[in-house]
Each structure stands twice: as structure tokens, then as C-alpha cells.
Amino acid sequence: MTSVQQGTLRVPGASLFYRSCGRSAPLLVLAGGDADMTDPLRDALAHQHRVITYDRRGWSRSVIDPGGPAPGIGVHADDACRLLAELADEPALVFGSGLGALVGLDLLARHPDQVRMLVAHEASTPQLLDEEDAAALRAAQQAVIEAFRQGGVAAAARLAGELAGLDPEDREPDVPLPAPGAREAANTRVLLSSDLPQAAAYRIDLPALDIQARKLTPAAGRSSRRGPLHACAAALAEILERPLAEFPGGHTGWLLRPRAFADKLSDVFDGTDRPDWRLTDGAAPRPERRP
């Protein structure tokens, strides 16, 4: 297996634990919240990319300074920017899923020079849906937050799984389900108490993303087609006139189908690097726009 380097990067208000594995062009993974969760995906990608993973601020080994506020999406994007400035000497390929996709969208909007191409998988963007669907998604998010406040982790995790359409059986045969432990429980509490409320309050910067649209591929899981997060990805693709890439599995396909997911991700990145790449058959690539 390719050797793995790891370290800690000091950033304003926190210390970030990171890993780097593989060679060639840098690929930053913004999925899950803990570097360990993406190890199988990283290993499947490392033969073709130099994969950078890390613990999101407040998770596992990435410690927030005492007294620091709960980080928002912009803070997480700034962390990713500083990590790339430290570890990459060229614009990086970026893959984000869920909250990580929101982080990737914020990174692309505010730090576009750091990003060569972003694949944003099932970001929650109710602002892009019609009024009824947006209200339903926001209500479902708020229900998860309230369930955590009133009933704790178990009650909230059940609702969150329903919202994301999680199916633990939708996985590659030799991929085990994540084993719960003390660190996983602590991370889940951070997710429910801090990350999810920040994600629910976040609004993507559509004008900035429109300018950078050629660097963005919205994505969703094949198993998520009837869910609200797939609808968000499809809406983003339609509004920015980008192709919608469908990936194996559902919202956590990167976790439960890592090899097939890595193959698709590499294909998407390779395809967008071709000079003859088109949005759809016969359509020309979207030109850069000015604000």
C-alpha cells in the first residue's frame, strides 16, 4: 500500500490533523468529518492522485482552542484553503459530500485559485428548490436538530438517516459497517450540535459560483434519486448549466461503495480535463461570466 504521511497544521483558533497519501495531482477529500472515515476511498484513489484528508475542526484530532465559537461553513472552507496552501503547490481537485460539499462550494466561491475542479456531492441547498420542497427540507433539518436537543444522539441520528435516505445494505460486499465507539459518538455530537445547524443556516453564493461554474460538477447518488439531496444537486446543475454526475450508492456512497465511487470520481476528474469535454452531447462548455 502507498505510504501515508500525517501531521498537524496550526490554523487560527485550532490545530488540524491531516494525512497525505499517493502521488501526482493533489486531491482534497471533504467527506465525513474524520480522516479515518475516508481511508477506504483514499486507498482506492491513491494510485492515481495524491489524496489529502483531514479531521474537520472539532472532530477527533483537530482540536478547537478553548473558548472558541462553533465553526461555520466559511471557517471550515478557510481551513481547507490553508491546508491546500501548506500541502499543495498547484490548484487541487476537490471532492466534497454533504456538509463537505458545502465547504467545497464555499472554498470555490471565495478561494477559486486553490481549486482545479470541485465535485460537490449532495450538498444541502434548499435555497435552490421550489418553495414547497425547500420548506420540507428545512423542516426536516430542523426536526433533526430538535430531536438532538430533546432526545439526544439516537433520536437525531435516526431522523438524519431518514433525511439522507441511508441504506446500510447498499454497500460493497466486503465493506463493513462503521463500528461505533467513544470517538465516533463524540463526533456525532459535534455533527448534530454544531455542524448541522451551521449547514442548515448556510446559503451558497450563486453569483460567485456562476463565475467559477466551469470548475464545478454537481453530483448525487443513484440510490438517492427520490430524495431531497439528489434534488438539490440536480437544481444546482440546472441553474449553473452543468452536468449532473451520478455516483454509485446513496448519500454515503463514498463510505459504503469506496472502490466503485473512486472509479467514478477519477472518471469525472479525467473527463473534465479533456479539451473536447462537453456539458451534454453537442453542447459547448459554459464560458466564463463576469459579475
Domain ranges for the chain, please list them: 4-125+203-272
pLDDT at 132 over 90: yes
SS3 221: strand
Least confident of 202-216, 239-253, 266-280: 266-280
**Average pLDDT of the residues in 209-227:** 97
**Average pLDDT of the residues in 98-124:** 98
Instruction: Specify the pLDDT at position 277.
Output: 41
Instruction: Specify the pLDDT at position 42.
Output: 96
Instruction: Specify the pLDDT at position 54.
Output: 98
Q: List CB contacts of 57: < 8 A, sequence separation 6 or more.
A: 11, 13, 14, 16, 64, 71, 75, 76, 79
* Other Cβ atoms within 10 Å of 81 Cβ, number: 19
Q: How far apart are CA 73 and CA 149, in angstroms?
A: 21
Task: Answer whether 71's CB lies under 8 Å from 58's CB.
Answer: yes
pLDDT band at 282 (very low <50, low <70, confident <90, very high): very low
Q: How far apart are CA 154 and CA 53, in angstroms?
A: 27
Instruction: Specify the pLDDT at position 271.
Output: 84
| CA 20 remoteness from chain centre | 18
Q: List CB contacts of 227: < 8 A, sequence separation 6 or more.
A: 164, 165, 250, 251
pLDDT at 70 over 60: yes
pLDDT at 272 over 90: no
Instruction: Specify the pLDDT at position 179.
Output: 78
Instruction: Specify the pLDDT at position 273.
Output: 58
Instruction: Specify the pLDDT at position 291.
Output: 34
pLDDT band at 281 (very low <50, low <70, confident <90, very high): very low
The mean of the pLDDT values for the chain is 91
Instruction: Specify the pLDDT at position 1.
Output: 54
% residues pLDDT > 70 (the chain) = 93
Closest CA to 132 of 228, 197, 205: 228
pLDDT at 204 over 90: yes
**Average pLDDT of the residues in 176-204:** 91
% residues pLDDT > 90 (the chain) = 85
CATH topology of domain 4-125+203-272: Rossmann fold (3.40.50)
**Average pLDDT of the residues in 70-79:** 96
- Counting Cα atoms < 13 Å in the Cβ hemisphere of 87 gives 32
Q: How far apart are CA 63 and CA 242, in angstroms?
A: 37
Instruction: Specify the pLDDT at position 103.
Output: 98
Render pLDDT for 23-42 as a digit per residue (tens, 0 to 9): 889 999 999 889 999 999 99
**Average pLDDT of the residues in 235-257:** 97
pLDDT band at 274 (very low <50, low <70, confident <90, very high): low
Residue, of 283 and 179, whose pLDDT is higher: 179
Q: What's the pTM value of the predicted model, to 2 decimals?
A: 0.92
pLDDT band at 128 (very low <50, low <70, confident <90, very high): very high
**Average pLDDT of the residues in 216-236:** 97
SS3 204: coil
pLDDT at 107 over 80: yes
Instruction: Specify the pLDDT at position 287.
Output: 41
